[in-house]
Amino acid sequence: MTLNTRIAPLFYLFAGLFGFAGVALAAAAAHGGGEAHLVASASTMCLAHAPALLALAIGAERLRTAWLAGILIGAGTLLFAGDLVALRYAGSGLFPMAAPTGGFAMMFGWLAIAAGAFFHRS
Above 80 in pLDDT, residue 122?
no
Q: What is each CA distance from 52 to 35, 76, 106, in whole angstroms?
A: 27, 13, 11
Above 80 in pLDDT, residue 121?
no
pLDDT in tens, 63-86: 999 999 999 999 999 999 999 999
User: With 0-12 CB in 10 A as exposed, 13-18 as middle and 19+ as buried, what is 1?
Assistant: exposed
**Residue 119 has what pLDDT?**
86
**Residue 35 has what pLDDT?**
87
Residue 40 · residue 27 · CB < 8 Å: no
Above 70 in pLDDT, residue 4?
yes
- The domain spans of the chain are 3-119
pTM value is 0.93
